[in-house]
Chains A and B, each alone.
Chain A
């Protein structure tokens, strides 16, 4: 008979902020090690064997990235991260088309996109492009009809993220890409939060451009990739040039170690995604169940069904998110996107879902991931319930 398993000790502090960044998987670190030591050649130094060794490692990694997202190896361009990839995709597609005399000026995106997508689109407004930012429904998803309406004006590019970074809500990328395609527009998707979480088939879905981040998928920070469709070929103007690496789309010495790390992270994700989604989803559901039992009025923001397994975005009935976090310093959660954590503004994503500023200020993002243990969830459930009770008691005393 099976022995009773002891619950593993919680990690301290308990890290439930896996949408901000993830731990670099020790297996990924292990894979990078040779490229941080004896294999230090520049992948562009094709003239000598050390350069060729590095180049081979880069190409092997490229194949792993391509396989995970349903692409051809030649469709993957390495960048410094998803932010850069989003910048290249949006600005690059618009500028290239305009440079070729394309008269279309409309860029369509969504209110809940990552800041770097919204800022890239806004930057194009200064160059004579017209940016249309579509609202989302209460469940956090884009209404396909709203996209169709926006596309009645000839449109260059549509950018819709596959998974939202604050709510974990999943968009139907295949459906939205088809609508864009029908209208003759290019379709870009920020995949930073989707890679390794949900199966992706960029070729089958007719996506033209897709952005990937290393550190959101248990890889290193400082590396990412851009998917650029080959058939039919999507043409881009590079953000900056130089040595002409990555077919001129992204110059600069390729960081072989990081790219190997991203490749290994993608290989692991492909192999473990299904089992991990199941495990993480169970942890998430368990946490939600216990919080609902202790705090019956707690509300989940965004669709519960079309949602990645690791995410919870909760609005508490009375307690402020900042006070809850202050009460449990050993629990790492967040009030929204990490980039703007320092800013005290309420989340624009939650406001786009229809939450008031007050509701947004009572909302927490909880990100469960590969290294979250059941004990971590026990701790988080107990700690948040206690913190909520304490905050509510303090509010009642006033």
Chain B
């Protein structure tokens, strides 16, 4: 097989070498971290060192970090543990994990740039009803960074709780629970270059916790049952440490180069000019269905996606792009997301492939229509 150029980091990232070493080393150690004998204690220490490293990196206390099986479980656990009869308010662009856990939630609109409307948040909360607000730090499809710090100030002013899905932001921008001022933060290991199967919910010291989602055994101070996946947790911590050394400026330059190449072919960038993650761009090619673009690029050995990976199997337009009011473009946008190890060669290959694909697909709709689509 010809070498694949992997530009689908927001679906999952390649495992970082330091994380792989940590995982494999931990697989060599037998023991259940809850056992009191020496192997048990050794494994427990690996886990507690990881807990300290991860909590510290994300601005929280080790005792307030709950290991989960991933970001989805962390989001669902946050809502399960903090909702407690509160009204739930969320942005229109949350991940399906939050959307499904927050059934019947009040939805906050986003602007055409993909950023949440803070005035709407303030208005909704001013009725004084006890609320839990869910706002992601960076969107998985557009990479648009949300004004979470301001949202936290508004929430705290009204006595509301704020849960932040930082799954896509972690490892790609500074993320600290304490400086954001939120009540909880969901993080996923594999989205930052650690192994899949691990994640964490980091709680602020004043966050309530009604009860576990997965009960039994009393692990994680009674907040999450089940034998912790120590090897994954060790890899998770190693990935967090390694991600601190990433050159995000270079990553953003590579992303910008990919974006420029697409725009030169007539593509429109979704979420521009908002602040975005340095690795993500969401580009719509007017007249070309997203699914067709992705398959055409796959044949050119470029791995990208049409929206979130979870829903890849299903044919439906992105709720994120629809919420931004992008109309027909919502079904014509692909997500290009650079992994931590993206190289200039990957971007050159993407640019060449995109030109070929765009030239072929664009012919289905005339230039006038293209402009209409952009304006609408």
| Chain A interface residues (CB < 8 Å from chain B) | 13, 15, 17, 20-24, 29, 33, 36-37, 40-42, 44-51, 79-84, 86-87, 114-120, 123, 213, 215, 220-223, 239-245, 251-258, 325, 329, 332-334, 337-343
Contact = CB atoms under 8 A, between A and B. Distances in A.
6 contacts: A41-B11, A220-B232, A251-B100, A252-B70, A252-B71, A258-B232
Given A29-B27, A84-B214, A242-B97, A47 B227 contact: no
A17 B39 CA distance: 10
Given A123-B215, A221-B230, A339-B217, A47 B97 contact: no
A166 to B, nearest CB: 13
A36 B23 contact: yes
A51 B37 contact: no
Contact of B37 (A13, A251, A256, A339): A13
Contacts of B311: 243-244
B213 A115 contact: no
Choose among B4, B35, B73 the residue with the greatest number of A CB atoms under 10 Å from its CB: B35
Given A17-B32, A47-B298, A47-B306, A240 B97 contact: yes
Given A120-B215, A221-B229, A243-B96, A255 B196 contact: yes
B181 interface: no
Given A29-B24, A332-B37, A117 B218 contact: no
> Chain A binding site: helix, strand, loop or mixed by DSSP?
loop
Interface in B32-51: 32, 34-40
B216 A243 contact: no
Given A115-B217, A222-B231, 20 more contacts: A17-B32, A20-B35, A20-B40, A29-B24, A37-B20, A42-B8, A42-B309, A48-B4, A81-B229, A84-B69, A86-B216, A222-B229, A223-B197, A241-B96, A244-B310, A252-B70, A252-B73, A252-B97, A333-B37, A338-B32
A200 to B, nearest CB: 21
Contacts of A343: 218
B307 to A, nearest CB: 10
B292 to A, nearest CB: 11
Contacts of B350: none
Contacts of B188: 253
B312 A116 contact: no
Nearest to A328: B37
Nearest to B14: A40
B346 to A, nearest CB: 13
A241 B27 CA distance: 30
A312 to B, nearest CB: 16
A241 B308 CA distance: 15
Nearest to B339: A40
B75 interface: yes
B312 A46 contact: yes
Nearest to B216: A116
Nearest to B189: A255
A47 B71 contact: no
A338 B40 contact: yes
Contact of A21 (B30, B298, B308): B30
B101 interface: yes
B310 A51 contact: no
Interface of B: 1, 4, 6, 8, 11-15, 20, 23-24, 27, 30-32, 34-40, 68-73, 75-77, 80, 95-97, 100-101, 188, 190, 195-198, 211, 213-219, 225-232, 291, 294-295, 297-298, 303-306, 308-314
B171 to A, nearest CB: 15
A120 B216 contact: yes
Contacts, number: 279
A182 B242 CA distance: 57
Nearest to A16: B37
Contact of A239 (B39, B40, B214, B295): B214
> Chain B binding site: helix, strand, loop or mixed by DSSP?
loop
Nearest to A80: B69
A49 B69 CA distance: 25
Q: Which 8 A-B pairs have the closest CB atoms?
A: A116-B216, A243-B310, A222-B229, A255-B197, A242-B97, A80-B69, A83-B226, A339-B217
Nearest to B39: A332
Nearest to A222: B229
Contact of B11 (A45, A241, A334): A45
A115 B190 CA distance: 30
Given A36-B20, A339-B217, A241 B225 contact: no
A251 B72 contact: yes
A29 B27 CA distance: 7
Contacts of A83: 214, 216-217, 225-227
Contacts of B197: 80, 222-223, 255, 257-258
Contacts of B226: 80-84, 116
B95 to A, nearest CB: 7
Contacts of A342: 34, 36
B303 A44 contact: no
Contact of B101 (A21, A223, A241): A241
A287 to B, nearest CB: 18
A188 to B, nearest CB: 14
Contacts of B295: 47
B216 A115 contact: yes
Nearest to A82: B226
Choose among B11, B73, B214, B228 the residue with the greatest number of A CB atoms under 10 Å from its CB: B214
Nearest to A242: B97
B193 to A, nearest CB: 9
A37 B6 CA distance: 13
Nearest to B79: A240
Nearest to A11: B30
A283 to B, nearest CB: 17
Nearest to A333: B37
Contact of A50 (B34, B303, B308): B303
B20 A338 contact: no
B365 to A, nearest CB: 22
B271 to A, nearest CB: 21
Contacts of B1: 49
A79 B20 CA distance: 22
B165 to A, nearest CB: 11
Contacts of A337: 217
Given A24-B27, A80-B226, A116-B215, A252 B232 contact: no
Contacts of A239: 76, 213-214
B100 A220 contact: no
A15 B39 contact: yes
Nearest to A334: B35
A349 B39 CA distance: 24
Contacts of B198: 222
Contacts of B37: 13, 17, 325, 329, 332-334
Nearest to B229: A222
B237 to A, nearest CB: 14
Nearest to A33: B24
Nearest to A25: B27
Contacts of B225: 83, 87, 115-116, 119, 339
